[in-house]
Amino acid sequence: MRWWWCIAGLLVCLAIHGVLLWIYWLPEPKKLLGDEVMYWQVAQWAAQGGEIRLPPLWPPLQAYILTGLVRWFGDTLVPAQILQTLLLGVAALLARDIWLRLSGLRASADLLALWMFAYPPLVAFAHHLWPEVLHLALASGVLWILVARRESTPWALAMGALLGLTLLAKSLIAPFVPILLTPLALRGTAARRALRVALAVAALLVVIAPTALANRERHGIASIGNSAWFNFWVGLNDTSRRDYENDAAEREYHRYLRSAGTWPERNAILRQRIADRLRGRGLLPVLSAQLGRQYFRLFDKDSILTIQLPGGRIHRQGGGYVRAPAFAATTLRALSWSLYALLLSTAVAGVALWLPRAPGWVYGALTFVSYNLGLFLLLHVKTRYFVPLLPIAFGFSATALQWGAERARGELGPARRMLEAPGPKGCVIAACAAALLLYLGFGA
């Protein structure tokens, strides 16, 4: 019976990937959006003999990979789409093994992998040029080592190198690095624990040092790609509850470039502007305004996929999937919204099921979620910034779905034996949390 479910899941994945690739290319290729344009222009220029030079706000790994693909295969996006689809598959398999090792729930682990490889808004990133899938695959490798090989000294070296590459893909998790290193120091003698952490840190520094040194030489700032101050300022200037709608980022970026001649000077001016804004408006009014906007932007049901489909706000501006068939667009949008509502509600249910007997890794996952929510209260937010949280949501959702299926069958299966349903008070809290997330997702 399990093989039949595997075959069915594979067919679902093939259908989702096939339809999304079809509308990407036919009858007219999708138009690049936002940072995609920059990455592709940099790759084309570098492939023709120029240097790979990104502004120091962006980590460079995606540009390096795209440049290599253009040099090897020519001026086409297809190799990047194939590579990113493979990376998404690797991330799904790693996430499955991580969840199986942590939870012991095989059906939940299988369903987590299906979520990751068949959820249309995530699958679409495998065909786009943002670094989301690359970052997800690298981060999954880091977590797999922490779960499966954290007592191994050689694997600690590999973990540090992978973590460095993860930061070179997207640097937003940089403040979270000390917490990620903690599992290496939990078991063994003091000497072995210290050695594992030291090797991981050394490997990380070796990987990121060339980029930091190059940026210091070119731009006067030893950074691998840090847009924190810029995104803080843009986040304070956003007005809409949805991204790509009256977006302040492009306007403020040009103003930022004109503000001074060097990047350190520009950041100093931004810090002064931010301080002036907070003093002028007051911290509490600013936080109140952010609360009324930021989480709507983060949890909005309209993903990068749906806003580019016919009827979406990017498509209405002449971008996205310009000539995608109406019936395919309508089906994909309805499927994406329905799955998103299911994901939000069942993820909360999964957390509620784990909490009465929660092992430490549950609190670790919730700590990472809290870290991201804290950042995005202030920083500029787009729905694609929710991608790093998706595997966590998928895992808790899969747990709730397995538990619910066992209960519906009247079966005392692994999930019902291991997990404890919350009491009446817990059910009310979980229902309120799910309602809040659905309101943020569908109420913008």
Tell me the C-alpha distance between 19 and 231, whole Å: 34
Write the pLDDT tens digit of every residue in 294-346. Answer: 999 999 999 999 999 998 898 888 889 988 898 999 999 999 999 999 999 99
| Residue 206 structural domain | 150-169+172-224
Q: State the Cα torsion 43-47-48-49 to the nearest 10°.
A: 110
Residue with tokens 């806003």: 307
Determine, yes or no, domain membership for 322: no
Q: Are 440 and 299 in contact (CB under 8 A)?
A: yes
Q: How many domains does the chain have?
A: 1
Tell me the C-alpha distance between 117 and 426, whole Å: 32
Determine, yes or no, domain membership for 216: yes
Give phi and psi for 389, each to the nearest 5: -90, -15
Write the pLDDT tens digit of every residue in 230-257. Answer: 999 999 998 899 988 888 888 888 899 9
Determine, yes or no, domain membership for 49: no
Determine, yes or no, domain membership for 191: yes
Q: If we measure between CA atoms, which residue out of 55, 141, 132 comes closest to residue 90?
A: 141
Both tokens assigned to 260 = 């001074």
Sign of torsion over alpha carbons 327, 333, 334, 336: positive
Q: If we measure between CA atoms, which residue out of 208, 170, 176, 202 comes closest to residue 375?
A: 176
Q: Other C-beta atoms within 10 Å of 342: how many? A: 14
pLDDT (0 to 100) of residue 1: 56
Q: Other C-beta atoms within 10 Å of 380: how many? A: 23
Q: Other C-beta atoms within 10 Å of 424: how many? A: 7
3: pLDDT strictly greater than 80: no
Q: If we measure between CA atoms, which residue out of 210, 240, 11, 5 comes closest to residue 118?
A: 11
Q: Are 160 and 202 in contact (CB under 8 A)?
A: yes
Tell me the C-alpha distance between 222 and 208, whole Å: 10
Over residues 182-209, the mean pLDDT reads 93
Determine, yes or no, domain membership for 218: yes
pLDDT (0 to 100) of residue 318: 86
Q: Which residue has the higher pLDDT, 388 or 50?
A: 388
Determine, yes or no, domain membership for 112: no
Determine, yes or no, domain membership for 248: no
Window from 1-10, 57-66, 231-240 with minimum mean pLDDT: 1-10
Determine, yes or no, domain membership for 411: no
Tell me the C-alpha distance between 369 and 375, whole Å: 10
Q: Other C-beta atoms within 10 Å of 377: how many? A: 16
pLDDT (0 to 100) of residue 247: 81
**Confidence at 351, pLDDT banded by 50, 70, 90:** very high
Both tokens assigned to 202 = 């050394």
CA distances from 81 to 72, 147, 376 (A): 14, 29, 29
Tell me the C-alpha distance between 267 and 257, whole Å: 10
